[in-house]
Amino acid sequence: MKGCNVIEVYDKNCEKILMCKRRKNPYKGLINFVGGKIELNEKGVDAAYRELREETGISNSDIILTHFMDFTYYTYDCYVEVYVGKLNNDIEVYDYENELFWSNLDENFFDVNKYAGEGNLGHIIEHIKLAKDTLLK
């Protein structure tokens, strides 16, 4: 089964989240979290930190990621691990693969014409909001 991850990154004040505009399929042109593939024999959390560094320049000294939830798509023979974290300082991110930007939290993340994931981004964000005080200390 193929593994992927998505990473919800909050700024240090938990006022914005880091998003990317996809430059290639799947979801070309739509807005998504950063993330990528989990390599064979790679631990999920290691893959999340690797993808975050590769796609944004954020290192494990800038953020502590928490494994929050998973989605398994048996029809597609794949699973997605969801990680969340808050930056511990102000840093400049670099868009190596996709256009990066900081989004306000009052967007309609369920809008499938704007956001990738068939509503999953909205679902993930809403559940993280419920656990925000525990997750993002």
**What CATH number corresponds to the domain at position 7?**
3.90.79.10
How many domains does the chain contain in total? Answer: 1
pLDDT at 130: 94
- Tens-digit pLDDT profile for the chain (137 aa)? 999 999 999 999 999 999 999 999 989 999 999 999 999 999 999 999 999 999 999 999 999 999 999 999 999 999 999 999 999 999 999 888 899 999 999 999 999 999 999 999 999 999 999 999 888 87
Give the span between the Cα atoms of 4 and 131, in whole angstroms: 23
pLDDT at 52: 96
Give the span between the Cα atoms of 93 and 78, in whole angstroms: 29
Range of the domain at 84: 2-135
Q: What is the pTM of this model?
A: 0.95
Residue type, 7: I
Residue 47 burial by CB count (10 A; 0-12/13-18/19+): exposed, middle or buried?
buried
